[in-house]
Amino acid sequence: MNSLFAPVQWLLFLALWRMSYEAANIPDSPRPVKNFLMESSSPVEVPDPVEKEWSEKAVKRYADAQEKKWRRWKEAMFEAK
């Protein structure tokens, strides 16, 4: 049942496993690490007018949907059938 090659098989398995882990975690490119907590000023984000319009529209639609949901819930719970 136990082979003389069993420890070699385990060693080979662990070596291949470690190699696949190392190959999967290769950094793409060496980038300097930037710590925003240490900087005196934060990066300025330029608001995109289209994104602002879309976000306002999304917020309005979400509020309308919530209003409709609560209206239906109140009608179902408190109005006589």
The pLDDT score that the predictor gives to residue 1 is 53
Which position has the token pair 């882990």?
Answer: 21
Which position has the token pair 């934060």?
Answer: 42
pTM for the model stands at: 0.41
Find out whether 42 and 36 touch, Cβ atoms under 8 Å: yes
The pLDDT score that the predictor gives to residue 38 is 64
CA dist 66 and 72 (Å) reads 10
Phi, psi of 43 (to 5 degrees): -65, 140
Q: Is the pLDDT of residue 28 over 90?
A: no
CA dist 78 and 20 (Å) reads 62
Give the C-alpha distances (Å, rounded to integers) separating 24 from 11, 14, 17: 20, 15, 11
